[in-house]
Amino acid sequence: MGTLENLAGGAVFLGLVMYAVFGGADFGGGIWTALASGPRARQQRDSLFHAIGPVWETNHVWLIFVVVTLFTCFPTGFSALFTVLLVPIVVALIGINFRGAAFAFRHFGSQRGEHIPFVAGIFAISSILTPFALGMAVTASVTGKIILVGGQAHAAPWFWLSPFTLVGGLVGMAVCAYLAPIYMTVRTTGELQGDFRLRGMIAAWTLGILTTAEVPVAMMEAPVFAGRLMGSEAALCVSLAVIFGITTQILLWRRRFLWAQVCAAGTVAMTLAGFAAAVFPDFLVGQLALAAAAAPHATLVAYFIILVVGTVILVPSLLFLYLTFRGEPDTELPR
């Protein structure tokens, strides 16, 4: 279990969880910007925008962390994935690009006292597009339809487009849409807090229904993966995800927002853990084991040395960042 390959797989998994839990909430902010409604729609958009501002770029780096860890520690697997998943990856990338740019532009524009609805629109659309495409890519990678022949990856041209991956894309979106409003309940007060509380509860039901729907589709489209999902470790993670999800709803109901935020992150982390447990011990389900996809021993050792040194620098810096920007969003913009 504790081999370096498995630990490296764990690093990829942790990176994904961090990206989902932090970056996902930012995408959710974009989704709820698009879905903002009711008498306080404008305040909803503004508060989402102010909450994401200082942190989106840091949160985005988790994705780079995942990609870099993949090609350092699993070069063969990385090469295979990026060959066959070209289209969804390009779509996600375009979304990431426009969202980041739109966010920066909007920040710049609002500092000038201008409203740029076109840019805000792009921000919303790309926030929807990206988690959908990433969800599709991630689920397509476990279908078992990627075949390795002589180190070269092959797959049918449109294999990444199926009911299974479409639901996967929706789950990606739902994860983001679930986290953002629950996090916002901690950062807002009064009626606005009530708005986000209600949206968080609706999103939780959506996420629950979609993840449940993914199981029967997986049995048809990704049988090996579905079979492992029923295995003890994956099933344990999935059960924990359900428990976290129900607890979040109860806490939202009882207005214990800080703990609801923690539990919501737990729901997402455990959902991903269930997914990862069903992939393990493979990199490409049924095709390429983690051990076979892994880089040579010396590289993995060096990677973990870098990881430890990097973590020692990163963790205090991140804590400083999140503690500095905690609490009420400061509506006063930078001087």
Partner 1 sequence: MGEIVSARALMGISLGFHIIYSTIGVGLPLLLMLAEWRSLRTGDETYHQLARRWIRPAGVLFAIGAVSGTILSFELGFLWPRFMAFSGPLIGLAFSMEGFAFFTEAIFLALYIYGARRLSRGMLFFCTIPLTLASAVSAAFVISANAWMNTPAGFSIVNGALADIHPLRAFANPAWAHEAVHGTLAAYVATGFAVAGVSAAALLRGRDRAVNTCALNLSLAVATVCLPLMLISGDWAATTLAVQQKPKLAAMEALFVTTRGAPLVVAGWPDPASGKVLYGIEIPKLLSFLAHRDLDSVVEGLDAFPPGTTPDPRLVHPFFDLMVGSAFIMIGAAAWFWWLRWRRRDIAQDTWLLRTLLFASPFGMIALESGWLVTEFGRQPWIAQGHMRVAEGVTTQTGIGLVLFTFLMVYLALTAGLLWLLFRPAAAGKGLETAAEGRHGNS
Residues 308-327 that bind partner 1 (CB under 8 A): 309-310, 313-314, 317-318, 320-321, 324-325
The answer to whether 270 and 241 have CB atoms below 8 angstroms apart is yes
Query: Which CB, 37 or 97, lies closer to partner 1?
Result: 97
Nearest 5°: the CA angle 232, 234, 237 is 110
Site for partner 1 in 254-313 (CB under 8 A): 295-296, 298-299, 301-303, 306-307, 309-310, 313
Q: 74 or 196: whose CB is closer to partner 1?
A: 74
Minimum CB distance to partner 1, residue 59 (Å): 9
Min dist. Cβ of residue 240 to partner 1 (A)? 29
Does residue number 65 form part of the binding site for partner 1 (CB under 8 A)?
A: yes
**252, 201 Cβ separation under 8 angstroms:** yes
Measured from the CB atom, is 58 or 206 closer to partner 1? 58
Toward partner 1, which CB reaches closer, 137 or 276?
137
CB of 192 to partner 1, least distance (A): 14
For partner 1, the binding residue among 1, 158, 190, 335 (CB under 8 A) is 335
C-alpha to C-alpha distances, 75 to 68, 160, 295, nearest whole angstrom: 10, 21, 6
The residue length of the chain stands at 335
Q: Name the residue nearer to partner 1 (CB basis): 100 or 286.
A: 100
CA pair distance 207, 194, nearest whole angstrom: 20
Which member of 57, 205, 216, 231 binds partner 1 (CB under 8 A)? 57
Check: CB of residue 129 under 8 Å from CB of residue 88: no
Angle ∠(165,171,175) on CA atoms, nearest 5: 150
Task: Show the DSSP H helices in 141-256 as ranges.
Answer: 163-187, 190-221, 223-229, 232-253
Q: How far is the CB of 297 from partner 1 (least distance, A)?
A: 8
- 71 sits near partner 1 (criterion: CB under 8 A): yes
Residue 183 is a binding residue for partner 1 (CB under 8 A): no
Q: Is 153 helix (H, G, I), strand (E, B) or coil?
A: strand
* Cα gap 275→266, rounded to integer Å: 14
Q: Tokens 């960042």 — which residue?
A: 321
Q: Strands 288-289 and 282-284, how do they pair?
A: antiparallel
The answer to whether 178 touches 268, Cβ cutoff 8 Å, is yes
- Residues 74-133 touching partner 1, rule: CB under 8 A, are 74-76, 78-86, 89-90, 93-94, 96-98, 100-101, 103-105, 107-115, 119
Q: How far is the CB of 56 from partner 1 (least distance, A)?
A: 9
Confirm or reject binding of residue 73 to partner 1 (CB under 8 A): yes
Nearer to partner 1, 1 or 335 (CB): 335
- Bridge partners (DSSP) listed for residue 282: 289
Separation between Cα atoms, residue 85 and residue 223, nearest integer Å: 20
In the chain, % helix, strand, coil (3-state, to 5) comes to: 80, 5, 20
**Binding residue for partner 1, selected from 58, 194, 236, 292, defined by CB under 8 A:** 58
Regarding 40 and contact with partner 1 (CB under 8 A), the answer is: no
Of residues 137-156, those binding partner 1 (CB under 8 A) = 151-153
